[in-house]
Chain A
Amino acid sequence: MKKYTDSGKKDTRSGFGDGLTELGRKNPDVVALCADLVGSLKMQDFIDENPDRFFQVGIAEANMMGMAAGLTIGGKIPFAGTFANFATGRVYDQIRQSIAYSGKNVKICASHSGVTLGEDGATHQILEDIGLMKMLPGMTVICTCDYNQTKAATLAIADHEGPVYLRFGRPKVANFTPEDQEFEIGKAVKLYEGTDVTIIATGHLVWEAIQAAVELHEKGISAEVLNIHTIKPLDEEAILDSVKKTGCVVTAEEHNFLGGLGESVARTLTLNHPAPQEFVATQDTFGESGTPEQLMEKYGLNSDAIINAVRKVMKRK
């Protein structure tokens, strides 16, 4: 069985920051905006190198989204960064009208998504953002799993014409995808071939899915693992090819089961190839304060939860 190695724990937000810095050097049209969270979003290097191309808007996310839309008129490629909660729910109508409906080339860059934000608690732990963003016509929705993938995604979305929601997080997590990877928007990455069950994971749950697959392998269960970094447009072909082979699926995400990756997968299966599915996700609840590990455990978002879901779904085949 292929071994995925953690090259050293890193936060996904640093992948965003380093990707942005690289973009600053190679694409003069890239500009950045932030609403008083430069340190958290790791944007300082970009700012130091491109002070004229950075806009500090203060604690005013609505104005930030509108300004980002305006900056595209004049040919700029704005990367607007803040916490996921303030990048989506707080400014939904600004995104809807000024960015999505207006078809503007804005990159909404959202850190501190999900419960792994940790101790700040539920006011800051959005678990609904994927749903909010994927419902907007024309919006591309990406949720990355580690530092390398986040950096690659940051570089890739600058070359994609149209609005993008890029979701990443706060904690240091395993960095296991290749440093030099090609990031193809809308393309699933197959991490393991398997025959008994398909595990489809996004974001921080991808590493947990790998741990689960290794453990399942030891117990004689062959799990296929797909790393879905793009939730919209969804790689339906990869999902269907896999589930046609395995006959059942577990989806795993740090998001409410309503509106997340799991529902998108369920829709794809219902329309094309109905199959049993279990959802590793939060169960229509808010989060709370705690360490990321405690919260992943309490809210059923780790490899143990995935293994339990696999056992359950395989019985339903």
Chain B
Amino acid sequence: MNLDELKDFATQVRRDILRMVHKVNSGHPGGSLGCTEFFTVLYKEIMEHDPEFNMDGKGEDIFFLSNGHISPVFYSVLARTGYFPVEELNTFRLIDSRLQGHPTTHEGLPGVRIASGSLGQGMSVALGAAQAKRLNKDSHLVYSLHGDGELQEGQNWEAIMYAAANKVDNIISTVDLNGQQIDGSTDNVLPMGNLKAKFEAFGWDVMGIENGNDLEQVYNGLKEAKSRTGKGKPVCILMHTEMGHGVDFMMHTHAWHGKAPDDEQLENALSQNPETLGDY
């Protein structure tokens, strides 16, 4: 792992996110900025994956984004790891684009294997893909990412129960614990209690990443999670992040969950994240 390189990558991804949502005055910058380190490490360091995209994903690690509204970070990382031209980020949320508001397979965007946006469905899909890997005797792993607020959807708990009961141990599901959802903090909207105890009670191997915006911690955490697979239990990472991380005025609030910066705010935000790999 080259930390400086990863930092530059993450900074450029942040610029992409901000510029994408600013251009169309819509989209979800908060969660995207919060998960930038996770996506950077996952796609640059952890997964064996092939940007010559093949839907079946045979012989490679595959990833599912369940909380599809953080599409900006997903699109930026896919583009910058070679799935499609970086310039295409310019078309985010525009008519006739493959970069829909929420990710979809419908327009054939390379790197996306399922539509998501309506919350709570991604873990079930990831489980199905993990079971297909078992049948195919493919030892690669399935990764998924979920919002914390998203766990309020009941389907997750059907999937969580199924995964442990059936010893699906080739899956690593990460929960983005940023403590925020649209109507406020998760503790105000619907407190979810002790998520670690809940996952453990369902039979998962649960670990934490204390600071999901620290590249080294994310790297070490994902490595650790990988070493825990294949041992009869699905693996869950509870990853603490700061929504809006990397832009001072977007942090410590849920206000930027689904709101784009204006011209002045964009300039301010970009000045905090100077260009590294080149803007699209």
Contacts from A to B (Cβ < 8 Å): 31, 52-53, 55, 57-58, 60, 62-76, 78, 93-94, 96-98, 101-104
Contacts and interface: CB of A to CB of B under 8 A. Distances in A.
Nearest to A74: B132
A71 B113 CA distance: 11
Contacts of A55: 131, 166
A102 B154 CA distance: 21
B162 A62 contact: no
Q: Is the interface of A mostly helix, strand, loop or mixed?
A: helix
A58 B114 contact: no
A64 B121 CA distance: 10
Given A70-B132, A72-B128, 19 more contacts: A53-B135, A58-B161, A60-B158, A60-B162, A66-B155, A69-B124, A70-B126, A71-B129, A73-B62, A73-B113, A73-B114, A74-B56, A74-B133, A75-B132, A98-B125, A101-B106, A101-B115, A102-B114, A103-B106
Interface string B112-146: 01111110111111111111110110100000000
B141 to A, nearest CB: 13
Contacts of B105: 101-103
- Give the interface residue-count category, chain B: 35 or more
B235 interface: no
15 contacts: A52-B135, A60-B161, A62-B124, A63-B124, A66-B122, A70-B129, A70-B130, A71-B129, A73-B113, A75-B136, A76-B135, A93-B118, A98-B121, A102-B105, A102-B115
Contacts of B55: 73
A98 B161 contact: no
Contacts of B162: 57-58, 60, 63, 67
A62 B114 contact: no
A72 B131 CA distance: 10
A74 B136 contact: yes
B57 interface: yes
A65 B57 contact: no
Contact of A63 (B56, B135, B159): B159
Contacts of A93: 118, 121
Nearest to B58: A74
B104 interface: yes
A63 B155 contact: yes
Contacts of B62: 73
A75 to B, nearest CB: 5
Contact of B135 (A72, A73, A74): A74
B104 A70 contact: no
A277 to B, nearest CB: 35
A78 B124 CA distance: 14
Given A66-B121, A67-B128, A74 B115 contact: no
A66 B159 contact: yes
Given A55-B131, A67-B131, A102-B106, A75 B56 contact: yes
Nearest to B66: A66
Contact of B114 (A60, A70, A74, A96): A70
Contacts of A72: 128, 132
B116 A71 contact: no
Contacts of A31: 135
B158 A63 contact: yes
Contacts of A74: 56-58, 129, 132-133, 135-136, 138
A315 B79 CA distance: 66
